[in-house]
């Protein structure tokens, strides 16, 4: 998982919204194929929007993402549009606007699937599952978390796998199934340790400590 994927919610929340990763070392021209100056403008705007998102400046971030979407639509940059829709959906998740998030995530996931990009599709699936759970669409949420989990395992994305295992554990805890929740959270800790992700291990342990005692 890219370092640019960001958890937007507290450690004990179900949702761990993630922004889509940009390839390491990608040049502006790789992100947007137009002229260098236009590509650089798109990249700078995307970075600004993500910074605003990470600082929870919701209104400013939304305006930046809407401007970015307009420019990407003009350039017919389908993958760029899909990335931006996922990031914008993360903003809606943080504000508990579940249906708005779902509408964007379903479109971005389909675009990533069509492009054959499992890394970014798994991010969209993870966020989609979180929103579906909040709207009471539990079966769809579980199915999408499990699909994201399988994709991340197949890619060897240990950090992403651990995050999705944690989300599944918290989902089962909220359903009143602490034994299954504990099993998923313990798996998440093991995978996070494999990834040497010490901070993530701490987050998962906190989730585990909040399970009801028997």
Structural contact between residues 124 and 109, judged by C-beta atoms closer than 8 angstroms: yes
Q: What local confidence, expressed as pLDDT, does residue 22 receive?
A: 46
DSSP string, 96-122: T-HHHHHHHHHHHHHHHHHHT-HHHHH
- Cα–Cα distance, 41 to 158 (Å, whole number): 33
160 CB neighbour count, 10 Å cutoff: 26
Per-domain residue ranges of the chain: 1-20+32-155, 157-209
* pLDDT < 70 regions, the chain: 1-17, 19-36, 214
Architecture field, domain 1-20+32-155: Alpha Horseshoe (1.25)
Structural contact between residues 45 and 80, judged by C-beta atoms closer than 8 angstroms: no
Q: What local confidence, expressed as pLDDT, does residue 36 receive?
A: 64
Q: What local confidence, expressed as pLDDT, does residue 41 receive?
A: 85
Structural contact between residues 16 and 163, judged by C-beta atoms closer than 8 angstroms: yes
Place of tokens 């929870």: 56
Question: How much is the pTM?
Answer: 0.80
Structural contact between residues 8 and 17, judged by C-beta atoms closer than 8 angstroms: yes
- Cα–Cα distance, 35 to 46 (Å, whole number): 17
Which residues, 6 or more positions from 53, have their beta carbon under 8 angstroms from its beta carbon? Answer: 6, 8, 19, 61, 87, 90, 91
């Amino acid at each position: 998982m890219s370092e640019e994927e960001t958890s937007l919610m507290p450690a004990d929340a179900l949702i761990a919204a993630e922004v889509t990763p940009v390839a390491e070392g990608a040049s502006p021209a790789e992100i947007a194929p137009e002229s260098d100056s236009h590509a650089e403008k798109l990249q700078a705007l995307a970075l600004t929007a993500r910074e605003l998102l990470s600082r929870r400046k919701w209104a400013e971030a939304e305006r930046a993402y809407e401007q970015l979407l307009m420019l990407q639509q003009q350039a017919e940059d389908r993958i760029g549009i899909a990335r931006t829709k996922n990031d914008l959906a993360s903003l809606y998740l943080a504000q508990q606007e579940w249906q708005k998030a779902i509408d964007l995530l379903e479109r971005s996931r389909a675009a990533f699937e069509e492009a054959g990009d499992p890394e970014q599709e798994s991010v969209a699936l993870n966020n989609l599952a979180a929103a579906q759970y909040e709207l009471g669409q539990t079966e769809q949420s579980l199915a999408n978390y499990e699909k994201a989990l399988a994709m991340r395992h197949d890619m060897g994305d240990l950090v992403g796998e651990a995050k999705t295992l944690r989300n599944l554990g918290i989902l089962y805890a909220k359903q009143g199934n602490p034994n299954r929740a504990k099993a998923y959270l313990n798996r998440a800790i093991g995978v996070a340790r494999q990834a040497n992700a010490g901070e993530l291990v701490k987050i998962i342990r906190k989730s585990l400590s909040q399970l009801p005692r028997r």
